[in-house]
Amino acid sequence: MPIPFDYSTLRIVWWLLLGVLLSGFAVMDGFDLGIGMLLHRVARTDMERRVVLNSIGAVWEGNQIWLVLGAGAIFAAWPDIYAVTFSGFYLAMLLVLLALILRPVGFKYRGKISHPLWKSVADAGIFLAGFVPALVFGIAVGNVIQGIPFYFDNAMLSIYTGSFTELLNPFALLAGCLSVSMLCMHGSLYLTIKTEGIIQYRAIHFSQIAAFITVILFAIAGIWVDGYISGYVFSSEPLINGVSNPLHKTIILKTGAWLSNYSRYPFSITAPAAGFLGAIAALLLVRVRCYKKAWVASAVSITGIIATVGVSLFPFILPSSSNPSMSLTIWDASSSHLTLFVMLTATVIFIPIILMYTSWVYYVMRGKITEKAILKNKSGYY
């Protein structure tokens, strides 16, 4: 049976889907991470922390499906990218995995022993489970923008030439701080919806601080990319419908080249605009107590910031700083034509099911979490 879409179209579709899945993870699991980071700030007593944890108690496990989907999409649609990132960032990814393991341990075992020290250790684990992934994912994106030190040998095996400490460069740390601030904004705004009283008051306060910091750091990152980071440019027109082979091109470096797509595709300016305006709108909406709208604005901001990275790099996905001509793009790093089509068919079937189930869960679990409800049904809450 002939495939109804040409190769280049499927590559573009999967590039868009990858952005959707990564944005879905940041929006749907991002507020879980943000709440974990803010646990010690918005909740001071044990009961207050129980309220905060139970605000996401029914959804945090399901939200992780977006991380699984994103990693799975990279593995199946962009195998070379999966190979380079998960081997080159091995220690960083292991750190994220270990941190994420602390989250279910903290949630499930926090209430098993009533000793304050035990609960403090569990709370620290939940904090690390939010902070470490948020920081590391941001640092990873910051390094991708600058180029990853890798190349392919004669057998087409990817060779990573960097080290873990090299990942911790100034721009990458800036990107990491931006990731932390935007997820803290998102998490604190979710708490404004799900809590009341002093916890909600503190969440409002921290959401405003985090939104302001997000705007500032996003602006600094844009200025930095424009004036001090070399972008990658094709020396000739790329082959958009050919077989996946990252060696069949020549790349040159040019400072500020990552922003050239905004003049080439004027509509793409909506991505950074959404990043800025969403955070500003969240800051203003929370002031007038429109908490749900503020959370939606925060989600728009996060999506815009992630889309800005994708649009800026397009058509590159993983630039190489060791050998720029071996950089991976959407035209030369994808799976086969048939694989992309089969995966697209499965995605069209299962993503709506996931969205419907997620919507149903949030509808059933709507409403605020209160101390009264926890005291009334102690065994039904964390």
Q: pLDDT (tens digit, 9 = 90+) per residue, 137-163?
A: 999 999 999 999 988 888 888 888 888
Summarize pLDDT for 71-113 with one digit per residue, the tens: 888 888 988 898 888 888 888 889 999 999 999 888 888 888 8
* Boundaries of every domain in the chain: 16-227+335-380
Burial class (CB in 10 A: 0-12, 13-18, 19+), 190: buried
Angle at 23 between CA 20 and CA 24, to 5 degrees: 80
CA distance 75 to 39: 34
Summarize pLDDT for 43-62 with one digit per residue, the tens: 999 899 999 999 998 888 88
Q: DSSP character for 148? A: B
pLDDT band at 240 (very low <50, low <70, confident <90, very high): confident
> Could you give the 3-state DSSP secondary structure of residue 248?
coil
Decide if pLDDT at 242 tops 80. Answer: no
Alpha carbons within 13 A on the beta-carbon side of 318: 26
Summarize pLDDT for 337-373 with one digit per residue, the tens: 899 999 999 888 988 988 898 889 888 888 888 888 8
Summarize pLDDT for 256-315 with one digit per residue, the tens: 889 888 888 888 899 999 999 999 999 999 999 999 999 999 999 999 999 999 999 999
Distances (CA, A) of 263 to 145, 175, 301: 19, 24, 22
Residue showing tokens 């945090």: 60
CA distance 186 to 372: 26
139 contacts 182 by C-beta, under 8 angstroms: no
CA distance 88 to 345: 31
